[in-house]
Amino acid sequence: MQNESAPRIQPLMPPAWDAVALDALGAFPKSLNFVLSRWDEEGIKVRGLNVLGTMAHYPALTKAFMTFNAHVAGASTLPVRVRELVILRLSWLRFSEYEFIQHVILGMRAGITEAEVEQVQHGPDATGWAPEEADLIRAVDELRSQARIGPATWERLAQRFSIDQLMDLVFLIGCYETLGMAINTFNMQLEPGTTPLTPAVRARMLEPRDGQVRE
């Protein structure tokens, strides 16, 4: 794996966000308000700043994506805990340390335990999952490897979730798949003060799997 220590696109800081950029970022108001409300106090340490600062370069794209992101992360019909489990598994599979760390914080606020964060790393067959939560993790894995949720997994999920929720599930995974690719490709850095993954956990995240290798 190539160790890049700097972003490929330097994030713009909030003082450089003009009205057009603010309008675009405001398509996901919760995210924008979180960063702006903490900027004066925390500065470059604000969690999530580097994603918004990178997106601020391209307002037209950002407004479209943030509108989508705001739905799947906030207006979705899925419970918060379900969303966070799914995002954790997807970011793990996508080798996205940045996104995984962000959603460990958000996931634990939604009731996910440290043991479950560990289980996410080992997939749907890890010891400790309730069958319905194993199927959520399995759905992520199947979409990542096969570009569809398999028939057996779908049948079980359909007994628990409504049509709207099943659609939200697929689009949630697709949204964070895209975001993970952007974070990795643009080499977005953790904000200063954010605790990175331990070397052992990071090495496990980057292990080759299913023919995929993080370079």
In this predicted structure, what is the pLDDT of residue 208? Answer: 83
What are the structural domains, with CATH classification, of the chain? 11-75 (no CATH), 79-206 (1.20.1290.10)
Tell me the pLDDT band of 194, cut-offs 50, 70 and 90: very high
Residues 6+ apart with CB under 8 A from 18: none
In this predicted structure, what is the pLDDT of residue 2? Answer: 43
Q: List, for residues 94-149, the tens digit of each pLDDT value.
A: 999 999 999 999 999 999 999 999 999 999 999 999 999 999 999 999 999 999 99
Query: Cα(90)–Cα(95) distance, rounded to whole angstroms?
Result: 9
Percent pLDDT > 90 in the chain is: 93
In this predicted structure, what is the pLDDT of residue 213? Answer: 60
81 Cα distance to chain centroid = 13
In this predicted structure, what is the pLDDT of residue 145? Answer: 93
Residues 6+ apart with CB under 8 A from 198: none
Query: Cα(121)–Cα(118) distance, rounded to whole angstroms?
Result: 5
8 A C-beta contact, residue 70 and residue 28: yes
- Mean pLDDT in residue range 77-102: 97
The secondary structure of the chain, three-state, reads CCCCCCCCCCCCCHHHCCHHHHHHHCCCHHHHHHHHHHHHHHHHHCCCHHHHHHHCCCHHHHHHHHHHHHHHHHHCCCCHHHHHHHHHHHHHHCCCHHHHHHHHHHHHHCCCCHHHHHHHHHCCCCCCCCHHHHHHHHHHHHHHHHCCCCHHHHHHHHCCCCHHHHHHHHHHHHHHHHHHHHHHHCCCCCCCCCCCCCHHHHHHHCCCECCECCC
Percent pLDDT > 70 in the chain is: 95
What residues form DSSP beta bridges with 212? 209
The predicted model scores a pTM of 0.94
In this predicted structure, what is the pLDDT of residue 209? Answer: 74
Average confidence score pLDDT of the chain: 95
> Is the predicted pLDDT of residue 1 greater than 50, yes or no?
no
- Mean pLDDT in residue range 183-204: 96
Q: List, for residues 23-58, the tens digit of each pLDDT value.
A: 999 999 999 999 999 999 999 999 999 999 999 999
DSSP state of 126: S
In this predicted structure, what is the pLDDT of residue 82? Answer: 98
